[in-house]
């Protein structure tokens, strides 16, 4: 990466170590994606119970994300990264120890703390390290840990479960998290300038309803509902159609396709603005969910996964960059935590809601519903992302500036 050669050696070292830790974290977490719903079905959970169990993962996110965001601002990003990695190392061992549904719900909620901590600390630290002029490019590169982890984890988990069983899978997931803890230990927190003017809207609800946060948070809610449905029910949906497709390959196709989006759009957004690429990401998500609704063979499932990967690879790092543009360093952890709370809430309610719907109308109709949700998110962003509808349209289509960006902040 040419850009890495142009920045300070200490910052470069932090970025490389952080990238390695991110790979281990996401590989550990995603190794359970295609296998855990099937494991829960094997131990006797119904469709609705599987939805509740998988959705309860987001309870930990919702309850702890605001506190962890504040902790990241007050005590530094490193301690929050360590909390996330320790949880992702411990939680998989619990799945081996119990199949009692109430305990599994508690365990899934505990497991959710891992993303609440690690993802918040990771993106805040990357935004701290990135020069403003190249912020989109660096966040784009550093967000590659997600698709690489998603490419490696589910495929590895699916094949390991088939070859050696669930026990081996759970221990592998825990071991990857343990290695990640060792990676985080040498990371150095950059200093935060406490003398900068603090934003007066500093509490959770004031930040959430502020113009700079509420629309991105709503977009993330719609995407959270979609991703929660996809990650919980895609393996079961594929199985119900009797299509011969390893669910792990579905996630691998999604991960591979997201590479191009993250590498290209991060750099392009530094020149063309963030709004255009948020809109493009929502378009791809909507198309992907329509294809999931129509899918009846392996090719369509893989095409839907490919397009969803492009959408995620474009949208999620772009929202993160957008919120970095709109926040001061000393509030960045809280701003990220609050914005992503919409994503967390979407994941939390997707499992129970779609699980209930799947019992009534089946998986296919449920995926059609998610296409409407991402379409709604796109309409809101096109019309409400700036101070007026015309300004919003210009920003969302790459024809205008972000009026909420804090352009006065200097490195």
Token pair listed for 286:
């909507």
Q: Residue 348 maps to which CATH number?
A: 1.20.1250.20
pLDDT for res 307: 93
Q: Tens of pLDDT along 222-279? A: 998 888 888 778 888 888 888 888 777 887 788 778 777 677 787 788 888 899 999 9
What span, in angstroms and rounded, lies between the C-alpha atoms of 347 and 227? 7
| Closest to 212 measured CA to CA, from 410, 48, 402, 26 | 402
Distance separating alpha carbons of residues 287 and 205, to the nearest angstrom: 33
pLDDT band at 7 (very low <50, low <70, confident <90, very high): low
Q: What is the pLDDT of residues 388-408, one digit of tens each?
A: 999 999 999 988 889 888 864
The pLDDT, as a whole number, for residue 409 is 39
Query: What residues contact residue 173 under an 8 Å CB cut-off, 6+ apart?
Result: 28, 29, 31, 32, 88, 92, 157
**Is 194 inside a domain boundary?**
no
| Distance, CA of 116 to CA of 68 (rounded, Å) | 7
Number of independent structural domains in the chain: 1
pLDDT in tens, 77-116: 999 999 999 999 999 998 888 778 788 888 888 998 998 8
pLDDT-derived band at 410 (thresholds 50, 70, 90) equals very low
**What is the residue range of 359's domain?**
2-187+202-396
pLDDT level of residue 411 (50, 70, 90 thresholds): very low
Q: For 250-266, how does the pLDDT look when each residue is reduced to its tens digit (9 = 90+)?
A: 877 887 787 776 777 87
Is 85 inside any structural domain? yes
Q: What is the pLDDT of residue 303?
A: 93
Of the chain, the percentage scoring pLDDT greater than 70 comes to 92
- Of 254, 311, 264, the C-alpha closest to 286 is 311
- Given CA atoms 338, 340, 345, 346 in this order, what sign does their dihedral have? positive
Q: What is the pLDDT of residue 383?
A: 95
Give the integer Cα–Cα distance in Å for 156 and 398. Answer: 39
At residue 73's C-alpha, the angle toward residues 314 and 279, to 5°, is 20
Contact (Cβ atoms closer than 8 angstroms) between residue 80 and residue 333: yes
The CA-atom distances, in angstroms, between 162 and each of 39, 285, 331 are 11, 31, 45
Question: What is the Cα–Cα distance from 141 to 129, expressed in whole angstroms?
Answer: 13
Is residue 251 within 8 A of residue 154, CB to CB? The reply is: yes
Which of the four pLDDT bands, split at 50, 70 and 90, describes residue 360?
Answer: confident
Whether 192 is in a domain gets the answer: no
Q: In whole angstroms, give the CA distance from residue 375 to residue 397.
A: 16
Q: Look at residue 406 and tell me if it is in a domain.
A: no
Q: Is residue 335 domain-resident?
A: yes
The answer to the question of residue 401 being in a domain is: no
Q: How far apart are CA 111 and CA 131, in angstroms?
A: 33
Give the model's pLDDT for residue 200: 44
H or E element in which residue 305 lies: helix 298-325
In a domain, 407, yes or no: no
Q: What is the pLDDT of residues 196-208, one digit of tens each?
A: 434 445 666 778 7
* pLDDT for 285: 93
Q: Where are the beta strands (DSSP E) in 180-234?
A: none
**Alpha-carbon span 344 to 337, nearest angstrom:** 10
Q: How far is CA 144 from the centre of its chain?
A: 12
Q: Is 220 exposed, middle or buried (0-12, 13-18, 19+ CB in 10 A)?
A: buried
- Sign of the alpha-carbon torsion through 71, 197, 207, 328: negative
Half-sphere exposure of 144 (CA within 13 A, CB side): 20
The pLDDT value recorded for residue 317 is 86
Check residue 9 and give its pLDDT: 72
CA–CA distance, 16 with 144 (Å, rounded to integer)? 12
Average pLDDT, the chain: 83
The span from the CA of 182 to the CA of 392, in Å, is: 45
Give the separation between CA 143 and CA 141, rounded to whole angstroms: 5
- pLDDT at residue 368, rounded to an integer: 85
Quote the pLDDT of residue 63: 86
pLDDT at 98 (0 to 100): 79
166-198: per-residue pLDDT in tens? 788 889 899 999 999 999 998 877 665 554 434
Give the model's pLDDT for residue 2: 54
Closest C-alpha to 335, from 349, 324, 345, 348: 324
Three-state SS for 274? coil
pLDDT at 131: 80
Q: Judge whether 114 lies within some domain.
A: yes
Under the banding of pLDDT at 50, 70 and 90, the label for residue 370 is confident
């Amino acid at each position: 990466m040419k850009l890495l050669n142009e920045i300070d050696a200490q910052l470069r070292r932090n970025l490389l170590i952080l990238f390695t830790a991110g790979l281990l974290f996401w590989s550990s977490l995603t190794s359970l994606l295609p296998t855990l719903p099937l494991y829960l079905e094997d131990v006797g959970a119904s469709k609705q119970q599987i939805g509740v169990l998988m959705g309860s993962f987001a309870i930990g996110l919702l309850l702890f994300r605001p506190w962890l965001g504040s902790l990241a601002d007050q005590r530094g990003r490193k301690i929050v990264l360590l909390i996330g990695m320790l949880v992702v190392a411990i939680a998989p061992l619990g799945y081996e120890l119990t199949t009692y549904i109430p305990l599994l719900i508690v365990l899934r909620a505990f497991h959710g703390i891992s993303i609440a901590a690690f993802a918040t600390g990771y993106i805040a630290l990357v935004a701290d390290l990135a020069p403003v002029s190249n912020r989109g490019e660096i966040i784009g590169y550093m967000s590659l840990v997600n698709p690489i982890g998603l490419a490696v984890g589910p495929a590895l988990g699916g094949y390991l479960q088939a070859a050696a069983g669930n026990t081996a899978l759970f221990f592998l997931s825990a071991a990857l998290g343990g290695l990640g803890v060792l990676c985080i230990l040498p990371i150095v927190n950059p200093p935060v300038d406490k003398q900068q003017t603090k934003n007066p809207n500093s509490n959770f609800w004031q930040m959430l309803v502020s113009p700079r946060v509420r629309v991105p948070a709503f977009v993330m809610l719609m995407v959270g509902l979609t991703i929660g449905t996809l990650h919980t029910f895609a393996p079961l949906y594929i199985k119900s159609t009797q299509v011969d497709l390893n669910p792990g390959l579905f996630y691998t196709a999604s991960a591979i396709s997201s590479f191009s989006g993250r590498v290209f759009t991060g750099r392009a957004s530094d020149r063309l603005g963030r709004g255009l690429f948020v809109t493009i990401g929502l378009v791809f998500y909507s198309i992907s969910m329509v294809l999931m609704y129509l899918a009846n063979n392996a090719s369509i499932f893989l095409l839907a996964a490919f397009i969803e990967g492009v959408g995620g690879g474009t949208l999620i790092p772009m929202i993160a960059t957008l919120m970095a543009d709109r926040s001061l360093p000393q509030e960045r952890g809280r701003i990220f935590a609050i914005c992503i709370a919409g994503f967390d809430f979407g994941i939390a309610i997707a499992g129970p809601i779609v699980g209930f719907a799947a019992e009534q109308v089946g998986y296919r109709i449920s995926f059609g519903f998610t296409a409407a949700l991402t379409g709604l998110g796109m309409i809101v962003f096109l019309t409400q992302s700036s101070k007026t509808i015309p300004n919003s349209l210009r920003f969302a289509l790459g024809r205008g500036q972000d009026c909420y960006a804090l352009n006065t902040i200097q490195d």
